[in-house]
Chain A
Amino acid sequence: MGNITPELESERKKICKIAKDVGLDFFETIFELVDYKTLNQVAAYGGFPVRYPHWRFGMDYEQLSKSYQYGLSKIYELVINTDPCYAYLMDGNEFLDQKLVMAHVYGHSDFFKNNQWFSQTNRKMMDAMANHSTRVRRYVDRYGQNIVEEFIDKCLSVENLIDRHAPYAKNKIEIVKEDVPKIDPEPVKPEGFEVNKEYMKDFLSPEGTGSGASEGSKRFPSEPTKDILQFMMMYAPLEDWQRDVLSIIRDEAYYFAPQGMTKIMNEGWASFWHSKLMTEQIMEDSEIIDFADRHSGTMAMQPGGFNPYKVGIELFRNIKTRWDKGQFGPEWESCNDLREKAHWNKKLGQGRDKIFEVRRDFNDVTFIDEFLTEDFCVENKMFVYKFNKRSGKFEIDTRDFKAVKAKFLFQLTNFGQPIIQVVDANFENRGELLLTHLFEGVDMQPDFMEATMKNIYAIWTKPISLATVMEGEQRIFRFDGNEFKSFALSKTSKNTEQSTSSEESK
């Protein structure tokens, strides 16, 4: 039990029991009552009491504190995915708020425990974070704050370059082993390359691709990899402490990744249950107005904005209704009679089971792909907006269902970030790094791209090239440590051109 007041504790027991009775299955959840300063601190640390030292947390803290002080926003709930699950209540919130938060938190806790995308996360992250903190602090003591902080800055610049689906691949260990560093006996031997003799054997008897035998076209890595962090950990010329820092950043990135992958579902699920439990069982009559106020505040959409809570809860409700009434399957799909559809009710009552199944198996991408229907789109007034160069404003582009769904899925895929792969770590046979952006119709932001490449250079210590599309043209951008250059793909060697374009056609 955390340090909450007896009143809250008795309420917690009640809510815990109610939540269990409706079928939620959660980790033991420990609530802590903290003042706003502590809450802001914990929130700045991503929910953890201790993190490695870095100014970024200070920045988040300042933003949270400032916006709290100015009354712009306040944190209602903060819950972390650990076992036991820790959640924070803010001292000074109204009693109703605390009850609402508790109900909401049990929803999250259930989601953490049961959603398969969280299955690979470290449930003892509290200890791991503390451990990370100790290690980084030790490096700070030994090498100095500026040096360590600067390196962390560089690592954070690439922290999103992980393979979000790797943890769920069964053969993930094999994949790691497959990454064989290529030792090139030819004149230009890459300096600072890690040469692992154990791997030599594998190299000497390469299996598979026949083209691998012809000189110059062998690739390392043999398959493009998205886990650039891991790749650099293994093959960049790093000192031990740097490798360790990089591994810390990577661990934490993987830990937080599922939360990004299930934002809509997770919030939707928790909101679905807080709303249901509060209105049906927990609340007293006198609290209804306040509840409505809080609930609608959370669900509100800014004009033209997008609120994951709202979309999530509505979708879950929609699924429940549809499966309760049997509004699914080929029969429903093929029915063209609108009147019949409006009164469609087969009284199947499968809604509850369905939403529990959905919360177990889906992530945001599959959730939207599977359950976003045209009716839902119309009902919730969804649209696609885009930037109009002439007016200099964001404007509503279309309300067409297919366009909305496509845009939606695009935003969710890979966390709405460009997918970057390492294709060649011995580019131009000089140990340079060639990255490819799997272009999906949207350019990267050039200044950020440039700065990120410089940071990668600092880690890899050899020129970095990146193949992408910029303003409709396939280009290679290259940073060689001094200069930043770009050239159209056709001007590079034939070999490169082919390989890169084949990557992009995938």
Chain B
Amino acid sequence: MSIVEDHKRFRDIIRGRIKKNFKKYISNGEMIGKQENDFIKIPIPSIDIPKFKYGPKQQGGVGQGEGESGEASGEGDGKGEAGNAEGEHVLEAEVSIEELAEIMGDELELPKIEPKGLSRLNSEALKYSGRAPVGPEGLRHFKSSYKEALKRSIASGTYDPDDPVIIPIKRDMRYKSFKKSSKPRTNAVVIYMMDVSGSMGEEQKQIVRLESFWINAWLKKNYKGLETRFIIHDAAAKEVDEKTFFSTSESGGTLISSAYKLCKKLIDEEFSPQEWNIYPFHFSDGDNWSGEDTRICINLIQDFFKPFTNMFCYGQVESKYGSGQFSKDLEKSFPNDESVVVSRIESREKIVNSIKDFLGKGR
């Protein structure tokens, strides 16, 4: 049918639009709020063919209903007016996160991630996908068995619609059957660490939130079964769930090493570097308590994170309180190091660049 062609054409254009305006959408915080299952709804204004028309704001219109002069006229913004003046169409295009990540990958020219060689473990899984005429009673499939019995009784003429009694016999029985499948397993874990000390404001956290969403989307596309862990810290660190991670605001000093230590402990206990692709991300405003603590951090990165993780990422969110010293220290200690990535995020608009910093290495 030709509508299929026209529809496809429209989708292509929309996708084109997403690509073109991608940088605009990526910093739109609202979008993540509309996430449902594996889909994200992106409100896209439907494509308006430009025409000579009146500006909506000046025009006003005629409506019906209660209300005094000067009262808000409901949502009467041009919708359904007599003159067929068109309101703003907002079309929500559904894009799966995977598709979105792909678009992002295309746009930022992100390389495909090469999983670490060691993690090619095979895992076996049973999948119940078929029906078999034999099997253990525990796996008997009632509906299929009943259908077989019904078919047999109709075929043999014993079925009486007025007295629809179906008596299954042995050969009507159907059982679930399974297949063994083995697939290579590549595991990845992302450990997000965030400074929640007093100097990290709402805006800074929103930036972290957006950035981590996109990083997750990209890594999820590259690894099936991505795990995420969250650590917050001020002077002390603790592991939290996602919600807490983004909503907590503490005050007090900052000891970055506390988070790194906890992260190391987590990896040691749960994610053996032989099996896992490990991505620690740390976000902070770059203010550490002391040079002494920074030294501890650098040592930890040098001795532990660098050899045992895919790469260590540090994102510094600009804040008016922070000195931003930490990123300088890291850069000094690891100049031109592919496995220690430092990125500065001055504002929402810079998130895209930062993602490219982090994921552009293909590690």
Contact = CB atoms under 8 A, between A and B. Distances in A.
A387 B52 contact: no
Interface of A: 41, 44-45, 50-51, 53-59, 61-63, 66, 133, 149, 153, 156-161, 260, 263-264, 301-308, 310-311, 364, 380-387, 389, 391, 393-399, 404, 407-408, 410-413, 415-418, 420, 437, 442-449, 451-452, 455
A386 B1 CA distance: 44
A55 B82 contact: no
B68 interface: yes
A62 B82 contact: no
Nearest to B93: A62
A153 B51 CA distance: 11
7 contacts: A53-B2, A58-B3, A311-B82, A383-B73, A387-B60, A393-B73, A448-B53
Return the 10 tightest CB-CB contacts between A and B, nearest first: A416-B83, A304-B74, A386-B60, A58-B10, A451-B50, A58-B6, A411-B83, A58-B7, A303-B74, A304-B76
Given A59-B10, A417-B54, 20 more contacts: A44-B3, A51-B2, A54-B9, A55-B6, A55-B47, A57-B3, A57-B6, A58-B8, A133-B2, A157-B49, A157-B50, A364-B82, A381-B64, A382-B64, A385-B63, A396-B67, A397-B60, A397-B69, A408-B62, A417-B83
Contact of B63 (A45, A159, A382, A413): A382
Given A383-B65, A397-B60, A411-B82, A448 B73 contact: no
Given A57-B3, A58-B11, A449 B83 contact: no
B117 interface: no
Q: Which of A50, A149, A397 has the largest number of chain B CB atoms within 10 A?
A: A397
A306 B80 contact: yes
A83 B129 CA distance: 55
A305 to B, nearest CB: 5
B62 A448 contact: no
Is chain B's binding surface mostly helix, strand, loop or mixed? loop
Interface string B30-70: 00000000000000001111111111111111111111111
A214 to B, nearest CB: 33
Interface in B8-37: 8-11, 13
Contact of A306 (B8, B49, B62): B62
B60 A306 contact: no
Given A385-B76, A418-B54, A444-B55, A304 B63 contact: yes
Contact of A61 (B6, B54, B65, B77): B6
Contacts of B123: none
A59 B46 CA distance: 7
A411 B47 CA distance: 24
B85 interface: yes
Interface string B223-253: 0000000000000000000000000000000
Given A58-B6, A303-B75, A416-B83, A387 B50 contact: no
Given A61-B7, A364-B82, A395 B54 contact: no
Given A385-B63, A448-B50, A443 B55 contact: yes
B145 to A, nearest CB: 33
B91 interface: yes
Contacts of B79: 302, 305
Interface in B77-92: 77, 79-85, 89, 91-92
B71 interface: yes
Given A306-B81, A394-B73, A418 B66 contact: no
A383 B49 contact: no
A447 B55 CA distance: 9
A170 to B, nearest CB: 28
Contact of A383 (B8, B67, B81): B67
Q: Which of A156, A364, A416 has the largest number of chain B CB atoms within 10 A?
A: A416
A304 B56 contact: no
Q: Which of B11, B73, B81 has the largest number of chain A CB atoms within 10 A?
A: B73
B80 to A, nearest CB: 5
Contacts of A394: 60, 72-74, 76-77
B82 A264 contact: yes
B13 A55 contact: yes
B13 A61 contact: no
Contact of B10 (A62, A383, A384): A62
B5 interface: yes
B58 A387 contact: yes
A263 B85 CA distance: 13
Contacts of A159: 51
A442 B7 contact: no
A87 to B, nearest CB: 19
Contacts of A404: 62
A58 B9 CA distance: 7
Contacts of A393: 72-73
